[in-house]
């Protein structure tokens, strides 16, 4: 019969026979609380004094009931029957680490939210302070800009007035020069030829045209629409101005040994004409006083045009 019994999944250990489960204490004698201690001692001595049986079994003192306790716990019977029933106390006892982690997480979120709110409040205060500072700076900048614009307008009016008075004096003076010449001829009852009359009227018309150009240029400056990207023949302007001023300053000597023809620059015609007129007029005016000579040169080098006006006038101090 025993040869038909098979041990399933035998375990190695100190037990001589094959076994597949943990070893549990065999038949156990236990003394209840009502048994006298002397009787319990005599029973224990009697059991321990008995000789081993045919199979070598004998009585001894059980020292480890842990396997029995684990068996009850795994089967959830006896003292562990409560494991079949759930309660708030048991849930708290079984899963307190998880609850502790959750509580710590919630506390961490609360602390994080509080800290984030504090940081947001500080950042908001800094932003509001920066915005107030920006508005104050912008207000001061607007006030300063308005003040500068006012001063610029006053300065522009002064500059335009000075420019108008200075530049208009030249063509008007030239016209007066021709008128005075004609009046002198009429006063002396000198016959005026058609060529002289035509020359005087043509030059007066030219000077009045220059005056009109200066007026228009001043208007452009006042409207800030002046443009300096026109193609201007500076050599032609120079020849015309030299011819006119030579008549105005006959005592001065004017040399133009090196003036290239058809030198075009990118500029404003009226501005260049006023500039060249002033340079040549100032040189001839000084040379007329000391009876010296004025030398004018216009050369080009690549993309550059160079105008040189030199005279033999009185030297400035060192």
10-residue mean pLDDT series, the chain (318 residues): 77 75 74 83 84 79 78 80 75 83 92 92 92 89 78 65 70 82 81 80 83 75 65 86 78 78 83 83 84 86 88 81
Tell if the pTM clears 0.85, that is, is over it: no
What sign results for the dihedral spanned by CA atoms 45, 50, 52, 58?
A: negative
Q: If you ran DSSP here, which 8-state letter would residue 298 be given?
A: E
Contacts of 200 (CB under 8 A, 6+ apart): 178, 181, 182
- Ordered by where they begin, the domains of the chain are 230-318 (3.30.565.10)
The pLDDT score that the predictor gives to residue 35 is 83
The pLDDT score that the predictor gives to residue 116 is 92
The pLDDT score that the predictor gives to residue 123 is 92
Q: What is the 3-state secondary structure (H, E, C) of 236-269?
A: HHHHHHHHHHHHHCCCCEEEEEEECCCCEEEECH
How far apart, in whole angstroms, are the C-alpha atoms of residue 210 and residue 275?
13
Asked if 276 and 238 count as a contact pair (C-beta separation under 8 A), the reply is: yes
Left (φ > 0), alpha (ψ -120 to 50) or beta: where does 29 sit?
beta
Alpha helix stretches (DSSP H) within the chain: 37-49, 66-75, 88-94, 96-187, 194-223, 234-248, 269-290
The pLDDT score that the predictor gives to residue 127 is 92
Comparing CA positions, the residue from 198, 196, 203, 296 lying closest to residue 244 is: 203
Asked if 258 and 222 count as a contact pair (C-beta separation under 8 A), the reply is: no
Can you name the residues that pair with 266 across neighbouring β-strands?
A: 231
Contacts of 288 (CB under 8 A, 6+ apart): 249, 251, 252
Virtual CA dihedral for 152, 153, 156, 158, nearest 10 degrees?
-110
Comparing CA positions, the residue from 241, 317, 318 lying closest to residue 283 is: 241
- Count of other CB atoms within 10 angstroms of residue 5: 7
The pLDDT score that the predictor gives to residue 1 is 62
């Amino acid at each position: 019969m025993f040869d038909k019994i098979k041990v399933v999944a035998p375990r190695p250990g100190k037990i001589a026979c094959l076994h597949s489960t943990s070893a549990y204490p065999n038949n156990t004698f236990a003394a209840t609380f009502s048994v006298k201690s002397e009787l319990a001692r005599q029973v224990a001595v009697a059991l321990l004094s008995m000789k081993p049986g045919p199979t070598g079994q004998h009585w001894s003192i059980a020292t480890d009931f842990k396997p029995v306790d684990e068996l009850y716990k795994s089967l959830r019977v006896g003292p562990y029957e409560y494991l079949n029933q759930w309660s708030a106390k048991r849930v708290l006892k079984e899963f307190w680490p998880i609850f502790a982690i959750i509580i710590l997480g919630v506390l961490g979120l609360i602390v994080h939210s509080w800290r984030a709110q504090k940081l947001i409040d500080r950042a908001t205060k800094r932003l509001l302070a920066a915005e107030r500072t920006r508005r104050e700076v912008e207000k001061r900048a607007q006030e300063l800009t308005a003040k500068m614009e006012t001063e610029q307008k006053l300065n522009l009016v002064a500059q335009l007035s000075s420019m108008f008075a200075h530049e208009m004096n030249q063509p008007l003076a030239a016209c007066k020069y021709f008128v005075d010449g004609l009046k002198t001829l009429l006063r002396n009852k000198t016959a005026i030829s058609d060529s002289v009359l035509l020359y005087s009227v043509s030059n007066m018309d030219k000077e009045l045209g220059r005056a009109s150009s200066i007026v228009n240029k001043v208007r452009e400056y006042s409207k800030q629409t002046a443009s300096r990207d026109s193609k201007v023949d500076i050599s032609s302007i120079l020849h015309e101005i030299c011819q006119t001023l030579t008549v105005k300053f006959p005592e001065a000597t004017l040399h133009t040994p090196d003036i290239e023809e058809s030198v075009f620059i990118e500029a404003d015609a009226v501005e260049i004409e006023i500039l060249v007129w002033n340079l040549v007029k100032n040189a001839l005016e000084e040379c007329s006083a000391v009876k010296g000579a004025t030398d004018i040169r216009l050369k080009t080098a690549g993309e550059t045009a160079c105008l040189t006006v030199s005279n033999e006038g009185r030297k400035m101090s060192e």
